[in-house]
Chain A
């Protein structure tokens, strides 16, 4: 069974900092990896999707990378803003389902 770990579980940073969220997984036989954002009491919003043949994706201030051989993905957030405060989850697809980590709860202080 695929195990997904996200470190750190929580992170508090001042506004303007660049930061990296980590996602590690145990089974490298994945088809894609997707990063989501979840605001309190809300559903998950898709941020970036990395297909298995890709190594990274970028959208605005976000950049996600995927290294299947080492079982790791990182989400890089540039110039963080208070509006980035949320829980960030990674999910990997294999065997008919997406496996999720527990998320990193990010607080960006003004």
Chain B
């Protein structure tokens, strides 16, 4: 597609529920990143995919968070047993190749856990 697409744009859920957030990167971009942004803060790294594999998942806060990219394009971030502290904007970004290429972001998915 023309840009990075994220769905849903907004998600409200109850504590303890399961949530999936989807990211469709720019066509041909092999690198995909998930970041989380809280109000007034810069984005915090969660996970980096190069192709289908997670090259670095050191930012995932705990085992309730998991992400996949089975065919090397669309990625899904999965959050189990959501907690109020998971409320944030989840941003997806892609770049053309591996390593430090120019990063392009989607509009984000705003998650609110009640």
Contact = CB atoms under 8 A, between A and B. Distances in A.
A43 B102 contact: no
A96 B91 contact: no
Nearest to B91: A43
Contacts of A99: 45
Does more than half of chain A's interface fall in helix, strand or loop, or is it mixed?
A: strand
A89 B102 contact: no
A46 interface: yes
A43 B103 contact: no
A43 B59 CA distance: 20
A102 B99 contact: no
Interface residues of B, number: 25
B42 interface: yes
Q: Which bracket fits the contact residues of A?
A: 20 to 34
B43 A100 contact: yes
A51 B102 CA distance: 9
Given A93-B100, A97-B48, A97-B59, A43 B40 contact: no
B42 A102 contact: yes
Interface of B: 4, 6, 33, 35, 40-45, 48, 55-56, 59, 91, 93, 99-100, 102-108
Interface of A: 4, 31-32, 34, 36, 42-46, 49, 51-52, 89, 91, 93-103
8 contacts: A44-B105, A46-B103, A91-B103, A97-B48, A97-B56, A98-B103, A100-B35, A100-B44
